[in-house]
A and B are shown apart, each in its own frame.
Chain A
Amino acid sequence: MTNRRNLDQFERELEAIGYITERDDRIALTAFLATELGKPLLVSGPAGVGKTEIAKVLSQVLDAPLIRLQCYEGLDETKSLYEWNYQRQLLKIQMGREHLQEADLFSTDYLLPRPLLQALLSEKRTVLLIDEIDKTDSEFEAFLFELLGEFQVSIPEMGTIKAKERPMVVLTSNGERELSDGLKRRCIFLHVEPPSINKEVRILRAKVPDLPERLALEVARAVNVLRERLSLNKIPSVSETMDWAKALLVMGKTGLDPAWVEATLTLLLKSQEDVELFYREMGAERLIFESSKLAQGERHVHG
């Protein structure tokens, strides 16, 4: 094939659309592997580290529309794959009582394609995001096997539908439940950790261009301290870090100070329990102290 890209090209394309990766996080390499091998990509990691973002970015890089299936408890095939358009079928029956075959009713005209079927029927290659697969029941997971392995589905009334153009499938999981071996076997696996300070600074600077370097650094360090030192119920996500930085920027701050940290803390910690934990075990001053210690450590390493 002529239009095959290699890894370097792929990394450059990611960079071009403003997605920041590091070599250590292996995101670029693993995503590249999944696209080229035509395998589903299973992404795990804590909430808010940018798992869903990977699918969005892939859709941009591959220039393929993104189809998203948000999973939840009790999701079944009528909501994810297809449903018959009963109303339309009824009308049709009323209209032509005399000369009508059953096959007329169970044809694509009367099918309401849901995300999974949409991805298979699409003429163009798509990126199919199956978000939070760990929230569904294991029955649904088993139902996905056919789709993920063969890229086809069987509809009892119609037969098997094969993908016109194989979609790039991205599954995400928060690890709430152990996924089945069968599912894992069919996927390429990527585990995403919260970004390093360095990477987060780069993300902040890319997404909030007005942000001064110093503030970006201090914000990234402080968030890193929060993530590592406290046993929070929910660690601050990358987007929350971004919100925090933006808020500080709007208020014209160039660095962190305890009063402002306290005033804006709720942008990072979103549960009462976590806020209480923060004041009990750390407090704003200590947070700033710890992050400045981190800075010294960094300088030490570089020096």
Chain B
Amino acid sequence: MNLVNWHRVKGMSMGNNYDSHRASELDRYLVEFAQLLRTVGLKISPSEISDATEGLALIGLVDREKVEAVLQATLVKNVQHISAFQEAFRAYFASLEQKEAWQKEAAHKTSQWNEQIEKTYQDLRFQDNELEISDDQRAVYANLPEKDKQRLRDFLEKSSKGTRSGVPVDHTYQPMVERVLRGSLEYWRKKLNEDDPILSPGSSDGVLSEVERALRDREVEVISRDLKKISPEEWPEVIRLIRRLSQRLASQVTRRYRAARRRGGLDMRSTLRKNLRYGGVLVDRSYRSRRKGRPRIVLLCDISGSMLKYTEFIWQFVYGLSSVVSGIKTFAFGEALIPLTGKFRKGQTFEVMVKEALSISGKEWGGGTNLASALETLQKKYPDTFNKQTLLLIVSDAQTLEGDKAATLLGEVQRHVRQVLWLNTLPERRWSETPYVKAFLPFCQMYECYTLGHLSQILNKQF
């Protein structure tokens, strides 16, 4: 491989006589490389960069693979970051021609993007005045199919020439037209975002944009892909991950309990008694144990129509969790509450199980959502579900009927339990569009959770 950058680095400090000037040149490259790694999400401290320098001085720069190994060992401290590192290494130490090509491509993309945005200023006008629309909305317009663009343009043109009671409209109508247009673009944004979010071309730096592209391609790595997009063949892998995560949750539950026990105060009475045999000299200490007990997990899963895509995920999560943590109480809810505790059987799919439970209660699978009625039933029919040791886990997209009532009920529940955790399958950027999310927020810790990456992050943060 012709690695220009590489050779430059290599040429600098080959052999034994590498003086301070050359070394500082190498440092500069390393710092720059570390910057690149930071932009793609790694945490790198100066001490690690200095480790890398020392390592390279030791191993030498002759062998590209060894250099990669040295940098990986000193700069990457997390298994999940290895792929990002590999891509960054490949791109940063690529040949100069390659880098120039990327640079050109990135510049091209940026200019294309700018051009598109520029063009919207021409397209979207009302009586030759520019409209007041945000750049995000302009980007949505630029991404529309030509047919729909034309429709919007037609609308603008017609309303520009429109009349009201025989009098041609004037510029005072512009705000109204803008509102209509914004509404329409908002609709399109939601619709387009469903599949792929509209991304700006990213960095104009060639190397960085190449790394970003490669990492997006690598999203094949299940951990960062939307759970509804995972194909059936990949489920075994996902299941394995979920099991691992839930196992971790289970083991952490125990850890807390033990740690708390040792921290109780000194128990004077039993200490004195224990030390009578040493003539009253306090040798062995005895502690008062303050048991915190394991949290009792209550799981409340949304199985309404909007959540259908995530059922496999929920099921695996529920099953994985209940196979490692004992005594979980599980409920599903759509329009009404469906108790599922003790209904798990091996090899049975979630759907079958829920259907069985539904046929008993005579309800429909995948209907509307009513969290309020679910919480009400839970409190009335299962009053012993909630106590100070309860960890209430809600898995839902927060799109529910009677949201205000549900929020009030949730507030009540929250006062009686240790913690309410809400895993929301809706991306955080869309929470503001969902009417009741704001009402729920004060009463629970809500996390976006639509990839396995999110789930493991939440577990790291919480437990």
Q: Does A98 contact B (CB under 8 A)?
A: no
Listed stretches A23-31, A202-210, A246-254; interface member: A23-31
Chain A residues positioned under 8 Å from B243 (CB to CB): 231, 233
Chain A residues positioned under 8 Å from B248 (CB to CB): 176-177
Listed stretches B46-54, B104-112, B353-361; interface member: B46-54
Q: Does A33 contact B (CB under 8 A)?
A: yes
Label chain A's interface by main secondary structure.
Answer: mixed
Chain B residues positioned under 8 Å from A188 (CB to CB): 51, 73-74
Listed stretches A35-43, A116-124, A283-291; interface member: A35-43
Contact of B278 among A90, A137, A231 (CB under 8 A): A90
Q: Which of A24-67 contact B (CB under 8 A)?
A: 26, 29-30, 33-34, 36-37, 39, 42, 44
* Contact between chains at A33 and B74 (CB < 8 Å): yes
* Contact between chains at B73 and A44 (CB < 8 Å): no
Q: Does B96 contact A (CB under 8 A)?
A: no
* Contact between chains at B58 and A33 (CB < 8 Å): yes
Chain B residues positioned under 8 Å from A191 (CB to CB): 79, 82
B23-51 to A contact mask, C-beta < 8 Å, 1/0: 00000000000000000000101011001
Contact of B281 among A29, A90, A190, A233 (CB under 8 A): A90
With contacts A37-B54, A37-B55 taken as known, whether A175 is within 8 angstroms of B79 at the C-beta atoms is yes
Chain B residues positioned under 8 Å from A190 (CB to CB): 73
* Contact between chains at B77 and A42 (CB < 8 Å): yes
Q: Does A145 contact B (CB under 8 A)?
A: no
* Contact between chains at A181 and B43 (CB < 8 Å): yes
- A24 to chain B minimum Cβ distance, whole angstroms, is 9
Bound together, the chains give a CA A302 to CA B292 distance in angstroms of 61
* Contact between chains at B77 and A33 (CB < 8 Å): no
Which of B58, B239, B262 has the most chain A CB atoms inside 10 A of its CB? Answer: B58
Bound together, the chains give a CA A86 to CA B258 distance in angstroms of 26
Chain A residues positioned under 8 Å from B51 (CB to CB): 37, 39, 188
Which of B239, B240, B254, B460 has the most chain A CB atoms inside 10 A of its CB? Answer: B240
Bound together, the chains give a CA A36 to CA B48 distance in angstroms of 15
Label chain B's interface by main secondary structure.
Answer: helix
Bound together, the chains give a CA A236 to CA B274 distance in angstroms of 47
* Contact between chains at A137 and B77 (CB < 8 Å): no
* Contact between chains at A29 and B59 (CB < 8 Å): yes
Q: Number of B residues contacting the other chain (C-beta, 8 Å)?
A: 40
Chain B residues positioned under 8 Å from A74 (CB to CB): 258-259, 262
Query: Which residue from chain A places its CB closest to the CB of B457 in the assembled complex?
Result: A178
Chain A residues positioned under 8 Å from B77 (CB to CB): 42, 181, 184-185, 187, 189
Chain A residues positioned under 8 Å from B70 (CB to CB): 29, 33
* Contact between chains at B73 and A185 (CB < 8 Å): no
With contacts A7-B59, A177-B252, A185-B47 taken as known, whether A231 is within 8 angstroms of B460 at the C-beta atoms is no
Chain A residues positioned under 8 Å from B76 (CB to CB): 189
* Contact between chains at A73 and B255 (CB < 8 Å): yes
Query: Which residue from chain A places its CB closest to the CB of B463 in the assembled complex?
Result: A177
Q: Which of A7-33 contact B (CB under 8 A)?
A: 7, 23, 26, 29-30, 33
Chain B residues positioned under 8 Å from A86 (CB to CB): 283-284
Query: Which residue from chain A places its CB closest to the CB of B283 in the assembled complex?
Result: A86
- B214 to chain A minimum Cβ distance, whole angstroms, is 20
* Contact between chains at A30 and B73 (CB < 8 Å): yes
Bound together, the chains give a CA A303 to CA B73 distance in angstroms of 35
Q: Which of B179-236 contact A (CB under 8 A)?
A: 236
* Contact between chains at B73 and A29 (CB < 8 Å): yes
Q: Does B66 contact A (CB under 8 A)?
A: yes
* Contact between chains at B258 and A189 (CB < 8 Å): no
- A230 to chain B minimum Cβ distance, whole angstroms, is 8
* Contact between chains at B79 and A137 (CB < 8 Å): no
Query: Which residue from chain B places its CB closest to the CB of A94 in the assembled complex?
Result: B279
Bound together, the chains give a CA A230 to CA B240 distance in angstroms of 9
A128-141 to B contact mask, C-beta < 8 Å, 1/0: 00000000010100
Bound together, the chains give a CA A26 to CA B71 distance in angstroms of 12
In the A-B complex, the 3 residue pairs with the closest CB atoms: A184-B77, A231-B240, A30-B73
> Which B positions have Cβ atoms within 8 angstroms of A?
43, 45, 47-48, 51, 54-55, 58-59, 65-66, 69-70, 72-74, 76-79, 82, 236-237, 239-240, 243, 248, 251-252, 254-255, 258-259, 262, 278, 281, 283-284, 347, 460
A-B contact pairs, 26 of them (CB 8 A): A7-B66, A26-B72, A26-B73, A30-B73, A33-B59, A33-B73, A37-B58, A44-B79, A73-B254, A73-B259, A74-B262, A76-B262, A90-B281, A90-B283, A139-B259, A177-B248, A177-B255, A178-B460, A184-B78, A185-B45, A185-B48, A186-B47, A189-B74, A231-B239, A231-B240, A231-B243
- Additional A-B contact list (11), CB under 8 Å, known A33-B58, A189-B72: A23-B65, A30-B69, A33-B59, A42-B77, A74-B258, A175-B79, A177-B248, A177-B252, A177-B255, A231-B237, A231-B239
